Structure 1
Amino acid sequence: MLSAHAEEGSKYPSKQITFIVPYAPGSPPDQYTRLFAEKLKAKVGQSVIVENRPGALTTIGMGAAARAKPDGYTVVYGSNSSLAAAPWLFKTLQYDPIKSFSAIAVTQDSPMILLGRPEDARIGLAGMLERMRKEPGKHPIGGGAITQEVINKMLQTQARIDQPYARYSNPNLNTDLIGGQLDMAISALSGVVALVEDKKLHVFASTSATRLPGKWKDIPTVAETLPGFELSSWVGFWVPAGTPKPIVNYLHAKTTEILKDAEFSRRSEDTGARTIFMTPEESDAFVRTEGPRWEKLLKSVGIEPQ
């Protein structure tokens, strides 16, 4: 096992590793990280736990991770929401996306989907948008983190609709959609696969540039109704800045092994996601380029820092 600058000169890892997830239990990021943690535990021979720290559009959990000891025993699930968009959403932030973290790897690119109830499947996305256009304020749309909020703004602008938006930080989004409190939801496919397969929810479209692979190939893209519409999210894992490079490299090597694991790969593909292989250096560079892109995107849909 790799020797690194862990406490007392011991081999890394010599104790429990904690993954901070800045989302609620049961959410798609939580599910993704728990499967990853299970695979990592088997590879490193130490306990790997997941600690949920939701709130403030992911910034509470990210702030906690930034303050953690940089010894490789705290890892955080990061995304475009927390590392690219957050600086342009808050006037003050508990962390610096560039200076506070070192990347293990960006691991996945995933589009969002527009969900509705099965009884509305027959009219499709075009029909839903027409209904919303004719009845402003009567068809609430729900979503979670900032990516969904940006997609909502894009949708309302490009489709010329005016509907209330409800922000959720818990799995009640699906319950409220099924129960009729919402007429549409913006979600990651990974959190609703079972509900879709059981015909309790219907997928109108994905926000990807092209149709999803495999068993989801029949799902249209939003762009087929609203030309040019496209936005995906990306995720990965980071450690506090200052974590010794040998530890970062060790975690990256194990991450690459997990991304190639047949079960892990299949689970990702089943949710319409695309696995990404980036080095720590490539991942850090990617975050630096994504910040300005998200600043421009947020300004284009009228979202200002609060």
Structure 2
Amino acid sequence: MTKHLLSRRSFAALAVAAPTILPARSWAQATGRWPDRPIRMVVPFGTGGGTDVVMRLLAPKLSAILGQSVVVENRPGAGSTLGTDYVAKSAPDGYTLVLATLSSTGVAAGLYRNLPYDPVRDLTAVAPTNFVPICHSVTTTGLKVRDTADWIAQLKASPGKYSYGSSGIGSTGHLASANFLQRVGAEAVHVPYRGAGQVFTAMVAGEVQFNSDIPSFMLPFQREGQVKTLFVATDDRSPLMPEVPTAAEVGLPGYKAYSWYGIFGPAGMAQPVVARLAEAIDQALADPLISQRLEEMGTPAMRGYTPARFAQYVKDEIDVWVPIVKASGASVD
């Protein structure tokens, strides 16, 4: 991943022109009164993780904007591909959607030999929600690590002794840790869980020694001295952890890890429904309380994307990440 690619997705560059807004009567005529019943929003990860938190933050506002309940349903498994595939195979009526991620699209396309859906062909890209930086942390339970150099030395001295957790095979956290190990020439055991909440519990208990996840999720554990964050895998230091160096500062130039979340539906959704939904998502992200909460999490909103622009963004990400995943050697049958 080059600095250009990451800076292209930098926080300031995420604000662009907003989607075209049609008059209320035109919307009603074009969408046939959509929505006229509750909307189901699938989160393809377990409870307690970033996608779950973000979707439950957005759901009440979307419900108010659209005039129908937005019901969040967790369907974890297979690194987010199980829930994403469920939506890909659902009726394209605008009532079953998924908050997918980079791991559900660009990573999955390179990781799974038999991915049951095509991220471009079988999904309708509606709108992104937020950009997600990643940091690398180790437990302090039964482990003493001074800094990144010391940690790399320990990993190399004991191949396979240590383990790392993630929200599942193919998740962003899995790939971020796997790429870190490959880059430093070390080996460790991957332990997949059904959600980030389980990973944090295992980290604090010392059942796994490290993982890669969102800085804001690590921050409470770091404050309590339960984990030690060694670096953030972004160009700049996280405002949430200004004392934590970047990957480049600890001797890992070029190493990047990030994700993003976005709402998708099955292929074949009516264009007026897609446009209305994208407008509602953008409106929800503009809410000051939601925007502030996302900033507090260190995962800024990605506002102003038309469905067409988001679809191109997803295609570009697939082109970037499939080669990275294949180069990592990670694969799933």
> Does the alignment reach a TM-score above 0.5?
yes
Is the aligned partner of 1:184 residue 2:210? yes
Question: Counterpart in 1 of 2:91?
Answer: 69
Question: Among residues 139, 152, 164, which one is paired with 1:141 in the alignment?
Answer: 164
Shift of 1:239: 1.4
- Partners in 2 of 1:204 and 1:65 — Cα distance? 37
Question: Among residues 106, 116, 127, which one is paired with 1:84 in the alignment?
Answer: 106
Is the aligned partner of 1:14 residue 2:36? yes
The question of whether the paired residues in 1 share the 8 Å contact of 2:40 and 2:71 is answered with yes
Shift of 1:131: 2.0
- Partners in 2 of 1:267 and 1:126 — Cα distance? 34
Is the aligned partner of 1:232 residue 2:258? yes
Residue correspondence of structure 1 range 236-247 to structure 2 within 5 A: 236-247=262-273
Question: Among residues 190, 194, 198, which one is paired with 1:172 in the alignment?
Answer: 198
Question: Among residues 128, 132, 150, which one is paired with 2:175 in the alignment?
Answer: 150
SS at match of 1:58: helix
- Letter paired with 2:91: K
User: TM-score if structure 2 supplies the norm length?
Assistant: 0.84
SS at match of 2:146: helix
Q: 1:206 to 1:250 in 2, by over 3 A?
A: same
- Letter paired with 2:275: N
Residue correspondence of structure 1 range 31-46 to structure 2 within 5 A: 31-46=53-68
The question of whether the paired residues in 2 share the 8 Å contact of 1:265 and 1:275 is answered with yes
- Letter paired with 2:65: K
Question: Counterpart in 2 of 1:114?
Answer: 136
Shift of 1:305: 4.8
Question: Counterpart in 1 of 2:126?
Answer: 104
Q: 1:53 to 1:283 in 2, by over 3 A?
A: same
Question: Counterpart in 2 of 1:203?
Answer: 229
- Partners in 1 of 2:222 and 2:59 — Cα distance? 26
Q: 1:152 to 1:61 in 2, by over 3 A?
A: same
The question of whether the paired residues in 2 share the 8 Å contact of 1:5 and 1:244 is answered with no
Deviations 1:170-202 (A, max 9, x none): 322111111112221222234444333444333
Shift of 1:139: 2.2
- Partners in 2 of 1:69 and 1:4 — Cα distance? 21
Question: Counterpart in 2 of 1:222?
Answer: 247
Shift of 1:234: 1.5
Q: Structure 2: any 5+ residue segments left out of the alignment?
A: 1-23
- Letter paired with 2:151: M
SS at match of 2:263: strand
Q: Report which stretch shifted further, 120-129 or 148-157.
A: 120-129
SS at match of 1:57: helix
Q: 1:305 to 1:26 in 2, by over 3 A?
A: closer
- Partners in 2 of 1:67 and 1:56 — Cα distance? 16
Question: Counterpart in 1 of 2:279?
Answer: 253
Shift of 1:211: 1.2
Count of residue correspondences? 302
SS at match of 1:32: helix
Question: Counterpart in 1 of 2:152?
Answer: 129
Q: 1:200 to 1:240 in 2, by over 3 A?
A: same
- Partners in 2 of 1:92 and 1:180 — Cα distance? 34
SS at match of 2:147: helix
- Letter paired with 2:324: L
- Partners in 2 of 1:63 and 1:139 — Cα distance? 32
Q: Structure 1: any 5+ residue segments left out of the alignment?
A: none
- Partners in 2 of 1:4 and 1:188 — Cα distance? 42
Deviations 1:186-223 (A, max 9, x none): 2223444433344433322211122123x332221222
Question: Counterpart in 1 of 2:74?
Answer: 52
Q: Report which stretch shifted further, 215-224 or 120-129.
A: 120-129
Shift of 1:70: 1.3
The question of whether the paired residues in 2 share the 8 Å contact of 1:76 and 1:238 is answered with yes
Q: Report which stretch shifted further, 162-171 or 69-78.
A: 162-171
Deviations 1:244-298 (A, max 9, x none): 1111111111111111212211221222223223211011111112222222101
Is the aligned partner of 1:296 residue 2:323? yes
The question of whether the paired residues in 2 share the 8 Å contact of 1:85 and 1:294 is answered with yes
- Partners in 2 of 1:169 and 1:70 — Cα distance? 27
Q: State the identity as a percent.
A: 28
User: TM-score if structure 1 supplies the norm length?
Assistant: 0.91
The question of whether the paired residues in 1 share the 8 Å contact of 2:126 and 2:265 is answered with yes
